Amino acid sequence: MPPEEKSFHMTSEEFRRHGRAVVDWIADYYDRVESLPVLSPAKPGQIRAALPAAPPATGEPFDAILRDVERVILPGITHWQSPNFFAYFPANASPPAILGELLSAGLGVQGMLWATSPACTELETHVLDWLVGMLGLPEKFLSTGAGGGVIQDTASSATLCALLAARERATGFAVNRRGGDAHLTAYTSSQAHSSVEKAVKIAGLGRENLRLIEVDDKFALRPEALARAMDDDRRAGRVPCFVCATVGTTSSNALDPVAEIGAICKERGVWLHVDAAMSGTAALCPEFRFIHRGLELADSYCFNPHKWMFTNFDCDCFYVADRRALIEALSVLPEYLRNPATESGAVFDYRDWQIPLGRRFRALKLWFVIRHYGVEGLQHHVRRHVELAQQFAGWVRADERFELAAPAPLNLVCFRHRGGDAANQTLLDGLNQSGALYLTHTRLNDKLTLRLSVGQTRTEARHVARAWHLIQAEASRL
Ligand SMILES: Cc1ncc(COP(=O)(O)O)c(C=O)c1O
């Protein structure tokens, strides 16, 4: 018998015990999260000051590590999973997603190629095809035709990949070959997410070649202004190559008119990407599918189950109508990745659909969520969130001290106190410092505006009612 090798690894027995303790800790956390101050009160440097200057020279007991999560880490957590979290857009978690994530970590798969774990690729393709039906998306996004879906880490990456494919399609793949001197231009509304500008910078178009198109009184892109800007550019010798429309802007949940924008893009042969990062999830319910009117004219589309569909960060579903354009734009095949499956042409290698080479098994958590809730369960909670937001909008309308600052088509309500910016800032600061809820702001028509975003997994009627009660009480103190 060879002597046993020295090992510092956790034994299976220890792993079982500590694993159960961690799952128990998370379950207890969800039971008490409602009572914790939503916005972390930590001061800059506070968390680091509580950590030892040097790493441990010898391993420590697991219980001690978990105790420090409670003692050191928790005070520095802003509780995105609190039902009183109404800030930004949600970044939801749910028990089935967490368990799927745990299993993904346990399998430790790196799914860059079909061959490096066929199930990682095929489950992803399959679940993304399911979602085409679940959201009523155009069939051209199905993998069974010329298109297909892939999970990206974020909507920002999806937009960047779409832009790179658009850039290459517009130039006959010339920028990939010899760099960029093509005078390409891109278009999005003045309300679009900052990730569009970031993508334009990374893709080498230059920020000055991104046109921020004006919006109407509902903060939605004006199609005629888009057409004008594209035609002006073309006359000046530039090459319009990419438009990003938004279904549910970050500031105010504005819905760009995708059908009109799509017609303009088709006429001019320009790539249309539709960013529905948060609001796309609403299309689970047939009554909200109006948000995707005209989507059949888009070349690509994305939405984030990691926002409103109860799936842990990170999980963005990105669809293209013509996967060849994307793959040709991003594929590089070194010798060490060659394999018979790739060569056969019968499989997807998702490394060619994204920026990094390596990829996690993200489809597991999405599959767990869809199977746990079923379409019915997902629809129920999404519908309920919209209902609660609409109820809140009604309360704002009925209180003469307040006004709605934008239409509230779904689950985001933009509102303000009529007392002006200073009053709204005082209101916001008072509410957030109380720890009882967390709201964030934007500026609409150059006025400070408060946003109440209803979409956290555990948010129920009583949380929204309490939020309104607290807002009213704070307003009375102004
Ligand atoms: C409309 C929209 N697009 C893109 C993003 C960026 O999302 P991600 O963090 O997935 O890149 C957001 C984030 O809130 C968003 O609201």
Question: Residues 144-192: pLDDT tens digits?
Answer: 999 999 999 999 999 999 999 999 999 999 999 999 878 999 999 999 9
Q: Residue 221 forms beta bridges with which residues?
A: 215
Q: How many helices (H) and strands (E) does the chain have?
A: 16, 11
| CA–centroid distance for 10 within its chain | 35
> In whole angstroms, what is the distance from residue 104 CA to residue 363 CA?
9
**Rounded CA gap, 190 and 219, in Å?**
9
Q: What angle do CA 24, 120, 320 make, to 5 degrees?
A: 115
For residue 225, the model assigns a pLDDT of 98
Q: What pLDDT shows up at residue 3?
A: 79
Looking at residue 200, its pLDDT comes to 98
Quote the pLDDT of residue 180: 81
pLDDT computed for residue 181 by the predictor: 79
CA of 304 to the centre of ligand 1 (A): 8
At 87, is the secondary structure helix, strand, or coil? coil
Contact 261, 216 (CB under 8 A): no
Low-confidence ranges of the chain (pLDDT < 70): none
Query: Ligand 1 — pocket residues by CB below 6 A?
Result: 89, 154-156, 193, 195, 246, 248-250, 275, 277-278, 304, 316
| Å from CA of 145 to ligand 1 middle | 28
Distance from Cα 120 to the centre of ligand 1, integer Å = 25
Determine the 3-state secondary structure of 26 from DSSP.
helix
CB-side neighbour CA atoms (13 Å) of 379: 13
Residue nearest to atom 16 of ligand 1 (CA): 250
Quote the pLDDT of residue 318: 98
pLDDT in the model for residue 391: 98
